[in-house]
Amino acid sequence: MNGLEVSHLQKRYGDQTVVDDLSFHVDEGEIFGLIGPNGAGKSTSIMMIIGLLNADGGSVAFNGQRYDARNPDMRSCFGVVPQELAIYPELTAIQNLQLFGRLNGLRGRRLKERVAYVLEVTGLGHNAHQTLKTYSGGMSRRLNFGIALLHEPRFVVLDEPTVGIDPQSRARLLDAVRELSTNGVGVLYASHYMEEVQAVCHRVAIIDRGRLLKMGTLDQLLDRTHTELCVTVAALPAELAGKFRGVADVHQEADGTTNISIHESVNPDQKSGVGRLRVVLELLEHSTISVLRIKSREASLETLFLSLTGKTLRD
């Protein structure tokens, strides 16, 4: 099978299991999103996939062969964009690219061509001879991304590639990711930004506490909760909240209001979203609780993510 195959990956630290039987595959030309809260095991999984961390169980294969990070030919198939900037601020952009290009075995005319290509893709051509100390955060992120493309990898791993950058730089990077896919390069895209994942990824895996929760295309993932009706009230007594069980989800918001969320159901044995809205409104009217607003919205990857992983803050 061509592409990346991750099978039953495991990692433990003492009694704590950080990655627990994680399996997925990424085809050639596919952009595969990997999302999860802080501490979900995304970065640990990535480090095992690229060979920077030994797994306690499972395997990683690329194009049908077990991946061996000690094999330079196999290593060269991968381009990695780390979460932390892996560039030298004392050097110019072109010096960084020449250095990393040589480390990847590029020389002479080929090195010159690839450096020119990366400068074009990242939009850094006019700033190629500036030291990175003068670069904005977005420019540095674009260069960090471009370095991974120098040796024409067949698979690119992106770990939070757009953290803290401006909208223009983000748009440039996302366009570059789409171009990789068009050229048949597989992409593993790990990010906290749901709108980015929803914009570029063909399939998505949601993980938490090292385990796979859901995986599929966006249409598949969002099918069960494709619409949501949200009723907001000023406050809801605790003793009343239980009456909505099985009809709606009740969430206390930071501003003191209460949101009563009704997800559209595909189960014919349950009331429709509108039918359950009627039940909610009748309960509120009977309890003389005023409604502040009612909103209808399509479910997004973010709403699905929160429904699976919860709203509790993660450190």
Question: What are residue 7's DSSP bridge partners?
Answer: 59
* Domain chopping of the chain, boundaries: 4-222, 227-298
**What span, in angstroms and rounded, lies between the C-alpha atoms of 98 and 87?**
12
How high is the pLDDT of residue 269? 42
How high is the pLDDT of residue 239? 82
**pTM score:** 0.77
Three-state DSSP string of 140-201: HHHHHHHHCCCCCCCEEEEECCCCCCCHHHHHHHHHHHHHHHHCCCEEEEECCCHHHHHHHC
Per residue of the chain (315 residues), give pLDDT as tens.
Answer: 689 999 999 999 999 999 999 999 999 999 999 998 888 889 999 999 999 999 999 999 999 999 998 898 899 999 999 988 999 999 999 999 999 999 999 999 999 999 999 999 999 999 999 999 999 999 999 999 999 999 999 999 999 998 888 899 899 999 999 999 999 999 999 988 888 999 999 999 999 988 999 999 988 887 644 567 889 998 888 888 888 887 888 888 888 899 988 866 544 344 556 787 888 898 888 888 889 998 876 667 777 777 777 766 555
Contact between 81 and 158 (Cβ < 8 Å): yes
- The CATH fold of domain 227-298: Alpha-Beta Plaits (3.30.70)
**What span, in angstroms and rounded, lies between the C-alpha atoms of 225 and 303?**
9
How high is the pLDDT of residue 225? 45
Do the domains at 4-222 and 227-298 have one common CATH topology? no
Arch. (CATH architecture) of 4-222: 3-Layer(aba) Sandwich (3.40)
Residues 6+ apart with CB under 8 A from 12: 18, 56
How high is the pLDDT of residue 103? 93
Contact between 179 and 171 (Cβ < 8 Å): no
**What span, in angstroms and rounded, lies between the C-alpha atoms of 212 and 34?**
10
Contact between 96 and 85 (Cβ < 8 Å): no
How many other C-beta atoms are found inside a 10 Å radius of the C-beta of residue 23?
Answer: 14
Question: What are residue 19's DSSP bridge partners?
Answer: 11
Nearest to 191 by CA among 5, 55, 32, 7: 32
Q: How is residue 19 written in tokens?
A: 């990655």
How high is the pLDDT of residue 207? 93
Contact between 179 and 125 (Cβ < 8 Å): no
